[in-house]
Amino acid sequence: MRRKRAGGKVLAGVAMLISFVLLAAGCSGGPGTPDSAANLDGYYTASEAELGKDHPIYIDTEANLVKVYATVNSKYLVESTRHGMNWVEGAYGDKAVLQTYANPLAFHDALLRLGGHPAVGKGEDPSQAFEQTPAGKFIKGDRVLVTVTWEGAGRDYDINEVMVDSSGTELAYRFGGNYDAAKEKMTGCFMCFDSCSVGITSNSAQPMGAFQDGKAEFRGNPDVLPEDGTPLVLTFKFAQ
Amino acid sequence: MKRSLNLGCHLVACLFLFYLVGLSLTLLLLQNDFIEMRFDLEYLVTMSMGFGLWLYFIAFFMGAPQLAWWTRKGFALAALVATGLIVAWIVVPRGGLPILPAYITRKAWFLGSLLSLPSMNLWLLLWGVAGGWALVVSRQFPRTVPSSTPAHWDRFSSSSRLGICVLFGALGLFLLFYLGQGEFQRTVNQAAAVIARAEVGDVRDYLLSFGAYAAAISGLLMVFQSIIAPLPAFVITFANGLLFGWGWGAALSWSSAMAGAVLCYLLARFLGRPVVEKLVSKAALDWMDGFFNRYGKHTVFIARLIPVVSFDLVSYSAGLTSIGFWPFFWATGLGQLPATLLYSYLGQSATGTVKILFMLFVVVTALAVLGMILRPKLAPVTPKRGEA
């Protein structure tokens, strides 16, 4: 009887819950759900061979590079998106061409360990992350070179071979940082296709809002990328 | 056996048709980048099929065959043609035929981690054949609805039917947003986690995280708990005392609890007794009826003074009686005032967790004693053990 009553009451409260949560969602976004430092360490693996869903990030301090495990999301080989790679548990986890399994904060810290300089560091003014030009706001930060490979690929592909920008502009990733925004919003963004105030890295060749304003469309290259769900390894290193 | 087959056939036909409606909508809305980037549209298929299932149960188990839309030739034909056109116009030109329908369906059916896209395409083929066959057969063998169903749809008043539709509509909308909007889902999960812990400090921290909106969020939390009572109201009242001081905290707690009570009262007026019985249980309503018989127009005031009597039950029950809105309003306002002031003062005074726990212990003990003193007086109308 109690269970029945509780179930019925839940239905009655839904209308109010909706208004409550809508308001809550529309406010400051509420508290973040940051992982503790100990939790972030769990995303790293000590050996490249162990890269996988459980340990998706490998930091090679000798070669000065970070490797990230991801899988293909084939929806965005035929539809356009502004997300290159996202954490599956982020708020926009399913919106990217590539899905990864690590918290973006762990990726941020991995790039820091390589000695990278973000456009905006922890606790810094986010308005300093962009270069304002007549063409728009472009993300700053150290330039990051990205390559992709997978079993049977035969070689490492440059990010420009596996992703398509409809405007023909080459992708040029930079270490935006955005640690505080990423922690607060938890969208899960690793790599954005245009300059972004949340993504850990984003494309400095396209200004902020390029996708939303219809200036460019982005998708994965269906002629190169393997089929849905195939595991990939992305390599990030800073340009000299 | 024949009846079960007929029921099953109609179920498949209904689900298939609403699947097509959901798929078409999803494919169309996918073309809007603004919506697509903010919302997992695949769950439109889930909710469309859920709506179909809801219609199916009302049509066949609550005696409303006019709601069996899938047996209407025009509706079925329109859904089939629209889906075909949308697939041909949107999906095929960009080479998405082997990807998009399977991807959308797999996600809508929560099979993402179980099936590859090629496997999902095979299942889709089977689903299409089964659905098409069921549509044809269900039109040839319409289901006859028994006249004596326990809750006949037509026996509900029009306002009750509207109320039921609004409630289920709200539930559907909430689920759709919860499933489809990642940030909304995160906010709900955080709020639910805070509520589930029912700790004053956590509620305070949660409210503080909203900055200037803290008072509004606290008010909505109070209204929410007034309706479905997931956590004791005194936890919020305590937190309000801590956050805003005893005066403002009490004012906020009192006014938001009033809003919750009024909402319950109006919901009961609007939905009527049959629906409220489903919401709060028949036994609880019968128990409150006894209370109203015994204390008449003073019932609301007395019940508000007794902390062990459910706040929302009193509001719902009052909405079913002849008690007018303003007598209910003033009785609730005056009746809840002493406890609100007390909890707010305790909330402001308490600083450490130990102190809060100690005060909670004192308050709960006092309430238990009060309940034990009052219980014999209520005994003649108390429901039998296990009924409530």
* pLDDT tens digits, A33-48: 444 445 888 999 999 9
According to the model, what pLDDT value does residue B167 have?
A: 77
According to the model, what pLDDT value does residue A222 have?
A: 95
Q: Do B4 and B82 touch, CB atoms closer than 8 A?
A: no
In angstroms, the CA B141 to CA A11 distance is: 35
Residue A173's pLDDT band (cuts 50, 70, 90): very high
Residue A218's pLDDT band (cuts 50, 70, 90): very high
Share of chain A above pLDDT 70, in %: 84
Please indicate whether, in this complex, the C-beta atoms of A229 and B116 are within 8 angstroms of each other: yes
Q: Which of B37, B117, B217 sits opposite A24 (nearest CB)?
A: B217
Q: Which of A11, A79, A187 sits opposite B167 (nearest CB)?
A: A11
The answer to whether B34 contacts chain A (CB < 8 Å) is yes
According to the model, what pLDDT value does residue B369 have?
A: 52
According to the model, what pLDDT value does residue A79 have?
A: 94
In angstroms, the CA A105 to CA A198 distance is: 11
- Smallest CA–CA distance, residue B289 to chain A, in Å, is 17
According to the model, what pLDDT value does residue A105 have?
A: 96
Specify which residues A67 forms β-bridges with: A58, A235
Q: Percent helix, strand, coil in chain A (nearest 5)? A: 25, 30, 45
Q: Which residues of chain B are within 8 Å of residue A212 when distances are taken between CB atoms?
A: 33-34, 37
Spans of chain B below 50 pLDDT: 354, 358, 378-388
Q: List, in order, residues 6 or more apart from B201 with CB less than 8 Å away.
A: B353, B356
According to the model, what pLDDT value does residue B146 have?
A: 62
According to the model, what pLDDT value does residue B206 have?
A: 78
Q: How many CA atoms lie within 13 A of A230 on its CB side?
A: 15
According to the model, what pLDDT value does residue B353 have?
A: 54
Residue A17's pLDDT band (cuts 50, 70, 90): very low
Q: What are B200's two structure tokens?
A: 């004053």
Evaluated on CA atoms B13, B18, B19, B23, the torsion sign reads positive
Locate the chain A residue with the closest alpha carbon to B385.
A1
Please indicate whether, in this complex, the C-beta atoms of A228 and B117 are within 8 angstroms of each other: yes
Q: Which of B96, B170, B206 sits opposite A15 (nearest CB)?
A: B170
According to the model, what pLDDT value does residue B324 have?
A: 87
Q: What are A10's two structure tokens?
A: 């839940």
Residue A155's pLDDT band (cuts 50, 70, 90): very high
According to the model, what pLDDT value does residue A28 have?
A: 33
The answer to whether B192 contacts chain A (CB < 8 Å) is no
Q: Which has more pLDDT, A12 or B50?
A: B50
Please indicate whether, in this complex, the C-beta atoms of A92 and B37 are within 8 angstroms of each other: yes
According to the model, what pLDDT value does residue B195 have?
A: 67
- Smallest CA–CA distance, residue A227 to chain B, in Å, is 9
In angstroms, the CA A208 to CA A190 distance is: 16
- Smallest CA–CA distance, residue A163 to chain B, in Å, is 16
Q: Which residues of chain B are within 8 Å of residue A14 when distances are taken between CB atoms?
A: 167, 170-171, 174
Q: What is the pTM of this model?
A: 0.73
Residue A14's pLDDT band (cuts 50, 70, 90): very low
Q: List, in order, residues 6 or more apart from B14 with CB less than 8 Å away.
A: B52, B53, B55, B56, B68, B70, B138
